[in-house]
Chains A and B, each alone.
Chain A
Amino acid sequence: MSRLRNFALIVPLAWAGAAAAQDAATPSFRDLDSVEARVQGCVTCHGQSGQGTKDGYYPRIAGKPAGYLYNQLVAFRDDERRYPPMNYLVAYLPDAYLHEIADYFAKLRPELVAHPVANPAPELVARGAELATKGDVATGVPACVSCHGASLTGMQPGVPGLTGLRPTYVTAQLTRWRTGDRHAPEPDCMKRVATRLSDPDIAAVTTWLSLQPPPKDLSPEKADIDRMPFACGSQRGAK
């Protein structure tokens, strides 16, 4: 009897195993001497193609501008941006290699999966749409699209795309920026934006972002400093 029960258990376990083997978070690669094999250290959190994983918090990194990804890798290595699992992983990696990793994920265009907030309040969505596309003149908050691109896929070389990110991640970043926990080279334009956002505003804009359908072209826009509402140190420094 117990043997039978064990057998009954093994079959579903095997199925689960087979399904998980195709999970994007599982290490696998084609050629040993490749960047793909070298970045297996990233995949359990960010996915095989940088698309993110089922796990709630970890951001999509695929297709973000290489300059932005490189800035973040350097900031994690040098403890300028604090997130212990990342600080630990990249602590002893040289600049040239971080460039290579950034370039690798910047070129990837895996399918974008939306993570919409369920049953959002219509007022919240309306306020989010207003902030993201028009900004708020009264509080001095520019529209997200003015820097992050008309379809929010980012701008070369240093402005990240906001598509495909989960509300939990975006909320955490805006909050960290507001408290000064996350920062960028001066003039730190995201600090300027985040410190002007209230908690309800952050909830509104992250909710609206989560509801946007994936754009057809996932590539970041070309650099256009003139279009930006104010100077950004990270945009100027990125290559």
Chain B
Amino acid sequence: MKLAARIALGAVVVAGIGALALHFLLPGELPHDKQVRHANAHTTVIERGEYLARAGDCVACHTDKDGQVFAGGRPMPTPFGNLYAPNITPDDDTGIGRWTADDFYRMMHTGVSRDGSLLYPAMPFASYTKVTRADSDAIFAYLMSVPPVRHPNRPHELHFPFDNRDLLLGWRSLYFREGEYKPDPAQTSEWNRGAYLVQGLGHCAMCHTAINALGGSSESKAFEGGMIPNQNWYAPSLTSNREAGLGDWDIQDIADLLQVGASHRGAVYGPMAEVVYNSLQYLSDEDAKAMAVYLRALPKRDSEPPPTSQARLVDPAVMELGRKVYAQQCAACHGGEGKGQPPAYPPLAGNQSITMLSPVNSIRMVLNGGYAPGTRKNGRPYGMPPFSHILDDNEVAAVVTYIRVAWDNAGTPVTPAQANDLRKLLPE
């Protein structure tokens, strides 16, 4: 009896502490300035909002494959279950028609929805928090100007316990730092503009910073690359010279890669092709260059030591098979010496995206081929054919090994098992 009372009392105390903690921890309202702000429907604001919404690539998640623009519904597979991006058209009942510019800014800035619920970090509010109030208002004005679509939101399908949004408090305290971008006075305005776009609307960190088992990414590993969950593409490190580190790139090549989708150093493919197609191709030349300036200046750090010479040893028979396959299938476009014919056919010699630690992207390109995105500056891109039906696992592994170690490339060999694992995936 006494024990039961104690347990009951203990439970009450714990619940009380929990409730108190929730009260203090739950993000509150923004400071009120009393005056209700409405969407600024001035054409120039709407146009600026459209430009910024493109820079933020809202359309990628908030539009389903054959759905109407911004009406939501696109499934986003995550390790925690499927999320469905909501309708962000100005429909009163199913979209954001009843939102105010304040509601919208609070959502962008703090990751808290209009009804007070915490957003899942699939919405990149950890990046969007850096967006200025003026830019947030412009995006809101633009969204309010698109045709409203009546399309009810589909509930998320998350596994227990991730279906409990209150758990996001933990995630937020670990991985979320609220705050608009603060320009660094020691840097140029161009660098600052680039940093604002890369860290904020561009939400590059969503893929280029590794995501851990909790779906978080830590600032100390910013832009160090990682596997993109559920996509099986590797997002290269932007800080390592052995991956997509841009230290020795020309500014113009970086800007071209982002805005054109192809450059003299390489072309985009996989998920990055989608980003360029939906978002980055619409950037102004100035903004593309600003991003390039910032990206190139990212501090260089390599989290892994370079592969040892032991790790780079290749069986001569494998090398010979790789050389043969290369001469037959690859050399017509990429050249006998791997120099390519850029920007049409990218160089393979000295191309970090080939030699980086993870060979996943190279193997997938050999298996499935791929076209660079058709952009405003490159409407007729070149493409690579699939070889999955021509080359067996040994040949795929051999030719990828060959391009990773030939011409002074400092990569490591890959195994037929690695090729086989990726062969089972559907191309996407």
Contact = CB atoms under 8 A, between A and B. Distances in A.
Contacts of B381: 38, 93, 97
A28 interface: yes
B390 to A, nearest CB: 6
Interface stretch (B101-109, B115-123, B208-216, B364-372): B364-372
Interface in B271-296: 273-274, 276-277
Nearest to B387: A44
B56 interface: no
A90 interface: yes
Interface string A41-73: 111110000000001000000000000000000
Contacts of B384: 40-41
Contacts of A26: 328-329, 332
A125 B72 CA distance: 51
How many B residues are at the interface, by size bracket? 35 or more
A225 interface: no
Contacts of B329: 26-27
A89 B65 contact: no
A181 interface: no
Contacts, number: 102
A34 to B, nearest CB: 10
A40 B341 CA distance: 14
Q: Tell me which of B341, B368, B371, B384 has the highest count of chain A C-beta atoms within 10 A of its own C-beta.
A: B371
Given A79-B65, A84-B427, A21 B328 contact: yes
A25 interface: yes
Given A78-B66, A92-B274, A92-B373, A41 B341 contact: no
Contact of A89 (B274, B327, B371, B388): B371
A67 B68 CA distance: 25
Chain B contact residues: helix, strand, loop or mixed: loop
Contact of B386 (A37, A45, A91): A45
Nearest to A43: B385
A154 B390 CA distance: 30
A45 B385 contact: yes
Given A27-B329, A40-B384, A40-B385, A84 B428 contact: yes
A169 to B, nearest CB: 14
Nearest to A84: B426
Contacts of B328: 17, 20-21, 26
A80 B373 CA distance: 19
Contact of A32 (B324, B341, B369): B341
Contacts of A100: 380
Given A26-B329, A92-B373, A38 B389 contact: no
A96 interface: yes
B58 interface: no
A41 B380 contact: no
B66 A25 contact: no
A200 B324 CA distance: 46
Q: Tell me which of A17, A25, A27, A94 has the highest count of chain B C-beta atoms within 10 A of its own C-beta.
A: A27
Instruction: Across the A-B interface, give the 9 residue pairs with the lowest CB-CB distance, nearest first.
Output: A41-B383, A92-B373, A88-B427, A44-B385, A92-B277, A94-B374, A84-B426, A93-B374, A27-B332
Interface of B: 65-66, 273-274, 276-277, 324, 327-330, 332-333, 341, 344, 368-374, 379-390, 426-428
Interface of A: 13, 17, 20-21, 25-29, 32, 37-45, 55, 78-80, 84-85, 87-94, 96-97, 100
Given A80-B66, A92-B371, A93-B381, 17 more contacts: A25-B390, A27-B329, A39-B383, A41-B384, A44-B390, A45-B385, A85-B427, A87-B427, A88-B370, A89-B369, A89-B370, A89-B371, A92-B276, A94-B374, A97-B374, A97-B380, A100-B380
21 contacts: A17-B324, A26-B329, A27-B385, A29-B332, A38-B383, A39-B383, A40-B384, A41-B370, A41-B383, A43-B385, A44-B387, A55-B390, A85-B368, A85-B386, A85-B388, A88-B427, A89-B368, A93-B371, A93-B374, A94-B379, A97-B381
